[in-house]
Each structure stands twice: as C-alpha cells, then as structure tokens.
Structure 1
Amino acid sequence: MKPIPQKIYLASKSPRRRELLRQIGIDFELLLLRDQTPRGPEVSEEVLPNERAEDYVARVTLEKAQFAQKTMWWRKLPSRPILAADTTVVLDGRILGKPADEAEAIAMMHALSGRTHQVLTHVAVLHEERTHQLTQRSDVAFAALSDETIRAYCATAEPYDKAGGYGIQGQAALFIQDIAGSYSGIMGLPLYETGQLLKQAGLHIL
C-alpha cells in the first residue's frame, strides 16, 4: 500500500486557517484559487436561488477542493491530500456574507445585536478518489450593542473580510456572551473535526 503524504495542500486564502493548521502541527502548502480571471472567479461564492445555508457552504467547499485537485493534476504537482473549507454566518435562515461596505457592515451588526445566530463551517479533505467531509455548527449569542459601538467597530478594518462582518478572534470578542460549539470552527476551521477528517484520509496526527 502506498504511504500517505504527511504534507497537505490548503485551498484557502484565510490567514486564520493557516494559523489553526499550524496550531495542530499540520504541514501544508498553499494551493490558491484565483478570484479574478477573464471568466470571473474560479469558484463562485454566489448563493443560488432558494439555496439552504447548509447546502451552500458544503457546495462551495467541495467546489474549491475539486478545483484545487484539478489544478494539482494540471500542474503535475506531487499528489497530496487537499483541504478546503468555507464558513458562513446564518441568522433566521438568511446567509450573511462578507459586507461590501460600511453601511452593510453596520446593518449586519444591528441584525446580530442581542440575538443568537449560527456559524456553519464545512470542511472537505480530498485524496485520490476519496472525499471526507462534514459541516460543523456553532451557536453564537451576541450582547445588545449600542449604535455607537457598532459604528466604532465598523470604522475598523476588521468586519470586511469575514462572513457575518465579524471575527471572534478580534475586537468582536467583546460582543459575544456565549458560544455553543467550536471556537476554532467559528474562526473558520473546527480543529477537532478537521483532525478526524485528516486521520480518515490516512494522515498521522497526534
């Protein structure tokens, strides 16, 4: 039986996912997808009509992983397991993506204020012909936020590259009264579940 490579490809631009993989001792090389090509992004993150959040986050993750795998083959790169993930924030069944501007970020914070929402992170590991995947869900309770606090937060750079307009590992930690689920999953990569998937793919992990 062929030995499983102990280094993986990470198909994600997220610096948080890189930090989390390093935290659990996973050696990785980036295999990034392009956002800008003559035909648009290599993997679209647009929500399809009537698409449920669970279906959306799984579809986008799997498309990222599959495109990265095809890229590995096209470039004749060494064959390694490929990890991809996608995180979305859900409030009352509505997907909250990355805010396009300050007005949208402010509106998102007002919507989340004093409410409990869900964070879904889907993780997929592809190796050769096998796919290992799951969705991890966390519930996050926000305190009631004043308009002044919301505007001060949205004047920072923090909300604009994150689903739902906030990062639990940043200043938005001040808003979070309670979480039920996975802290690292809310950051973008649930470490327990990711470790299980990598083990299923054959990697040796502690």
Structure 2
Amino acid sequence: MSLILASGSPRRRELIALITRDFIVRPSSVDESRITAPTPAQLARALATAKAEDVAAANSGCTVLGCDTVVECDGQVFGKPRDREDALRMLRALSGRTHKVHTGVCLCRDGRMTAAVETTLVHFASIPESELQAYADTDEPYDKAGAYAIQGRAALWCSGIEGCYYNIMGLPVHRTAQLLAAFGE
C-alpha cells in the first residue's frame, strides 16, 4: 500500500497504525482559515478534502488520507484554541452540555476521491471553574479541536458518548478502514 497521511497529528498516526503500519506522514500546507462551508460537518469534510487534494497533487500513484476534526456547540465551530482565554471560552461553553464532534475523512489518488464525515455526540458534566483553570495551565488543550483531549484529563468530564470514541480523538478508525477497503487499499 502506498498510503500517505496528510496530517502531522500524533494521535492520527497512532490511530491509522491500528489499520495499517504501511503509511508515511506528509502534512498538508493548506491554509485552513480560507476554507468555509455552510455547516460544521460540511466544514470538516471540506477541510479534509482540501488537505488530501493538496498532498495528492504532489504524490501521484499514492493514496492520500486527509482528515480534519471540528467541535460543534450550538452551531458554532470550535477549532484549536488561539490562546488560554480562547480555550477557557470553549470549555465553559461545553461544560454541562452535549456537543458534536465531526471528523471529515477524504481519500484521494490520481483524480479519484471519496469523502465522509463521522459525527459523535459527547456529553460533558459541569466542569468546576477551578478545574477549567488548572486544565488551561497544561499543554493539553492547545492543539485540539474544542480545547480538550478526550483521551486525557477531559475524560474526567465526559459523562457519555454516542458514536465512535476514536472520532473524538481525530480519526474514526472503523469508518476509515471501510473507506480504505472500498477505495481499493
């Protein structure tokens, strides 16, 4: 298999390795701020597609996997926080609420393309302000959509999920494996 993961995310590297160890990493250089879509789910798909197409353009004959995860709360997109205050804003909005995590997955090879979006509902308990402040003082929220890592300390706030757990980490493993099989990989 000639599979390229168009993402520098260490979590995605770990998760794609559950499907195959035969891949290389080549992060995309797409300017994500220039991509828009009518809904958060469509945005996740559009970003994943742009990343896959960007890397595929320079790697003919290879299958490229592009991914992007966004958190949606009340129709608003929560990407990676800009700074501590932005992380706190997002976490306060998620506290005691249910939100959606959308991950777009796109496969490209030599002009062929397929894409999908996986959505998981995440239920958070109320988060005490002291815990929010302490969490914002760690490195954990700053490279994650929605300002949290479900596999990290945010597990303490997660009272339940509906859907794929791995989707919350950034790669819906089952769905991605199905797409790869159907794509011919």
Please give the range of the TM-score, normalised by the shorter of the 2 chains.
over 0.9
Instruction: Give the superposition deviation at 1:57.
Output: 1.1
Write the letter of the residue equivalent to 1:91.
Answer: C
Q: Does 1:7 align with 2:15?
A: no
What amino acid is aligned across from residue 8 of structure 2 in structure 1?
A: K
| 1:5-84 → structure 2 map (5 Å cutoff) | 6-34=1-29, 43-46=30-33, 51-73=38-60, 79-84=61-66
Matched, 1:152 2:134: yes
Question: Aligned equivalents of 1:129 and 1:21: distance in 2?
Answer: 23
Matches within 5 A, 1:1-206: 6-34=1-29, 43-46=30-33, 51-73=38-60, 79-203=61-185
SS at match of 2:127: coil
**Kindly, what percent of the aligned residue pairs are identical?**
39
Identify which range, 107-116 or 125-134, moves more after superposition.
125-134
In the aligned structure 2, how far is the partner of 1:25 from the partner of 1:115?
Answer: 35
Tell me the amino acid that sits aligned with residue 54 of structure 2. F
Q: Distance in 2 between matches of 1:91 and 1:66?
A: 28
Contact 1:89–1:164 (CA<8 Å) still a contact in 2? yes
User: Shift of residue 164 of structure 1?
Assistant: 0.3
Structure 2 unaligned segments of length 5 or more: list them: none
Deviations 1:27-57 (A, max 9, x none): 10112223xxxxxxxx122266773212211
- Partner Cα distance (2:162, 2:37) in 1: 27
The TM-score normalised by the length of structure 2 is 0.95
SS at structure 1 position matched to 2:15: helix
Q: TM-score, normalised by structure 1?
A: 0.86
Q: Which deviations, in whole Å up to 9, do the C-alpha atoms of 1:105-153 show, x marking residues without a partner?
A: 1111111000000000010111223212110000000010111010011
Q: Shift of residue 20 of structure 1? A: 0.5
Question: Secondary structure of the residue that 1:46 maps to in structure 2?
Answer: helix
Cα distance between partner residues in 2 of 1:190 and 1:48: 22
Tell me, in whole angstroms, the C-alpha distance in 2 between the residues paired with 1:103 and 1:110: 10
Which protein is bigger by CA-based radius of gyration? 1
Moved over 6 A (4+): none
Counterparts of 1:187 and 1:33, CA distance in 2: 19
Q: How far did residue 59 of structure 1 move?
A: 1.1
What is the one-letter code of the residue matched to 1:18?
R
Three-state SS of the structure 2 residue aligned to 1:68 is helix
